[in-house]
Amino acid sequence: MHSSLKIVLLLLSIIVRVKTEAGVELIKYTVEFMDSANKFLAEFADTDQDINWSNEINGLNKDNLKLNIKLASDLKAYIKNLNDVLARIDVNIVEDRNLRRQLKKIPGLGYDLLEAEELSELTNVTLGMTEIYKTVNLCSYKNKNVCNLTLIPHVQDIIHTSDDINEIEYYWREWRIKTGSSIRDKFQRFIEFYRKTALLNGYETPSDYWYRNLEEDSDIIKEDLEIVMTSLNPILKGIHAFVRHVMLQRYGSDIVSATGPYPSHLSEIFIGRAFRMADLSSIEFPYPDKSLFNITEKLSTIGLANTKDIFVFVDEYFSSLGFDSFNEHYWLQSTAPKHSADETYLTCFNRVFKFSGLPESKMAYCPQVDETRFYGMFETVAQLHYSRSYKVQPFVFQDELFPNFNDFLEKLFSLAASSPKYLERVGLISKEETGYEYRINRLYLMALQNVFVLPIFHILDKYRVDILDGKLDVNDNCGYWELVEKYIGAAAPFPRSSSDFDAPSKLLIGVDDEYSTQIVGTIIQFQLFKILCENSGQYVKEDPTKPLDMCDLYGEKEVFDRIRTLMKSGSSKTWREVLLEVTGEIELNPEGFLEYFHPLHNWMKKDNSKNNVVVGWTQSSRCQR
């Protein structure tokens, strides 16, 4: 650790102890402590970003890797010292709200409060689970002598292109056989360590610690999430019925029930294909004769031949909303193409590096030009503006409202840019392609990517939280399948029991990754979009000439004043405070999400009725305790 940093911490620790013992007002010294913390945390962050920027544009550097390890060790020691000093300050009696919140934003110790032996075992446990997920090899269905197939990319590529139901079922079963039993004991140890970590960090329940980033009691968050899931039920069940009917026609009644949950292995593939551009041709759209427009080929016709062209184009879009433009100097000095050695179509995306000590963030960009990268640039420029805006805040507030919020604030802009009305304006689609049938196909693809994903996120969190709080046992495999059936209407393709352990097949890339923030972020994204479109007059409820999915916000400077205010606040306020300030609502409101997909929901109701398709599902008996 830097010597001057050690001296500052030592002096602050002595001052706080002496002044506390003397009963002297501590506000002055608390301010000094916080100013010092902001300064050094910013230096750590900037050094880390500089190392990662170098790796991103030049390729992985072994010297940089050593620097990263040293920096992480120094930061860990510094945060421990910060928390030692902070323990001498009663944060709750600090009257200044801004200062009190800054103190609470100092990073906690988390797992580092465990004993050294426990921390070492926890590291081995989590790494072990991740390695099992990454390195398990399966034998080929067609050639059992070939046994070097990993889930990603080998098995995924096979099942997403295969029409052989026996092959798909084989990989589903083999993957769970190879991962479940080998992970169960490790997962149980992780649960024990997490419970202890929650208590050591001062939380009454493990779930309170799990949801800590949302800054509310876990019971409130759980209730909010259940309200969201309930609100999604009508549209989810309508699309579920349509998808199940398609599966029934394709695979037959021996495989797919007309009234029960659909098989999880088939639903995973069906929905997964919606995220793979190369697989879209295998999806049966509501209007098969109306192609889903792809703007890749049109980009060059409007002068977008390279990444810089797209950046300038997107920058002008943001300028139309009242944001300050990025000039040629920014492009020359603060951007660079990503190192391409390990980049693929699925991994080549822009990345922003935030620097507290520099005027602007830097951007490492993907040099590919296609539809995905076009919309991705709207998200990247939104992130650049977000980090530029909250730079006015103290360092501990130079952050998003909660983990993943940045992603959904970015997606607010790519959602606006994907409006058929806007795409027609700039010449990327024709007038015909803004028509009803094209819109329904577009909304259907978006629904597969959004409506079904939120309940999956909910299952991933609820399963682990219920185990952490002792409401569900690790060995209760049927408890997991009950959640899957309840929230997404899927069931195992084969009989399951407590001797199986199926949850890790989805969960354990990162054992403590929280997905509830992604649900909250998605709902807020559409909540904000609805407000912006209402205020601009682009959307009027129940007016078929002004539906939400056609809203074009280009040039609407005034309605974006609130978004710029949101961006400037960083994490200086809670997400509910910001939500109230921007929307006038303090609660999560799924209405924007539901209204966006309302035309599709109506179409599904009519189509399911026309085909006598049952909506909803009967209870499965696939899992027996």
The residues with which 353 forms a beta bridge, in sequence order, are: 362
What pLDDT, on a 0 to 100 scale, did the predictor assign at position 9? Answer: 55
What pLDDT, on a 0 to 100 scale, did the predictor assign at position 18? Answer: 47
State pLDDT tens for residues 533-549: 999 999 999 999 999 99
On whether the CB atoms of residues 600 and 443 are closer than 8 A, the answer is yes
What is the DSSP-derived secondary structure letter of residue 337? E
On whether the CB atoms of residues 437 and 398 are closer than 8 A, the answer is no
What pLDDT, on a 0 to 100 scale, did the predictor assign at position 353? Answer: 97
Those residues whose C-beta lies under 8 Å from the C-beta of residue 496, and which sit 6 or more positions away, are 477, 478, 481, 502, 622, 623, 624
For range 547-565, the mean pLDDT:
95
Those residues whose C-beta lies under 8 Å from the C-beta of residue 110, and which sit 6 or more positions away, are 197, 201
On whether the CB atoms of residues 577 and 585 are closer than 8 A, the answer is no
In 31-87, DSSP assigns E strands to none
Instruction: Report helix, strand or coil for 145.
Output: coil
Instruction: Report helix, strand or coil for 230.
Output: helix
- Per-residue pLDDT band at 8 (split at 50, 70, 90): low
Task: Give the tokens for residue 197.
Answer: 């970590």
Q: What is the distance between the alpha carbons of residues 527 and 591, in angstroms, rounded to a whole number?
A: 7
State pLDDT tens for residues 499-545: 899 987 765 555 788 899 999 999 999 999 999 999 999 999 999 99
What pLDDT, on a 0 to 100 scale, did the predictor assign at position 190? Answer: 94
On whether the CB atoms of residues 246 and 435 are closer than 8 A, the answer is no
Task: Give the tokens for residue 361.
Answer: 């963030």
- Per-residue pLDDT band at 282 (split at 50, 70, 90): confident
Task: Give the tokens for residue 311.
Answer: 């950046």
- Per-residue pLDDT band at 276 (split at 50, 70, 90): confident
The residues with which 588 forms a beta bridge, in sequence order, are: none
State pLDDT tens for residues 324-356: 999 999 999 999 999 875 566 667 899 999 999
What pLDDT, on a 0 to 100 scale, did the predictor assign at position 12? Answer: 57
What pLDDT, on a 0 to 100 scale, did the predictor assign at position 459? Answer: 95
More confident residue, 234 or 182: 234
- Per-residue pLDDT band at 80 (split at 50, 70, 90): very high
What pLDDT, on a 0 to 100 scale, did the predictor assign at position 156? Answer: 85
More confident residue, 617 or 133: 617
* pTM for this prediction: 0.93
pLDDT at 22 over 70: no
pLDDT at 277 over 90: no
Q: What is the distance between the alpha carbons of residues 594 and 479, in angstroms, rounded to a whole number?
A: 29
For range 584-612, the mean pLDDT:
97
* Extents of the domains making up the chain: 3-108
What pLDDT, on a 0 to 100 scale, did the predictor assign at position 340? Answer: 74
Task: Give the tokens for residue 183.
Answer: 């992970």
State pLDDT tens for residues 423-463: 999 999 999 999 999 999 999 999 999 999 999 999 999 99
Q: Residue holding tokens 């493990």? A: 206
For range 282-290, the mean pLDDT:
89
- As a whole number, the mean pLDDT across the chain is 91
Task: Give the tokens for residue 527.
Answer: 């909540």
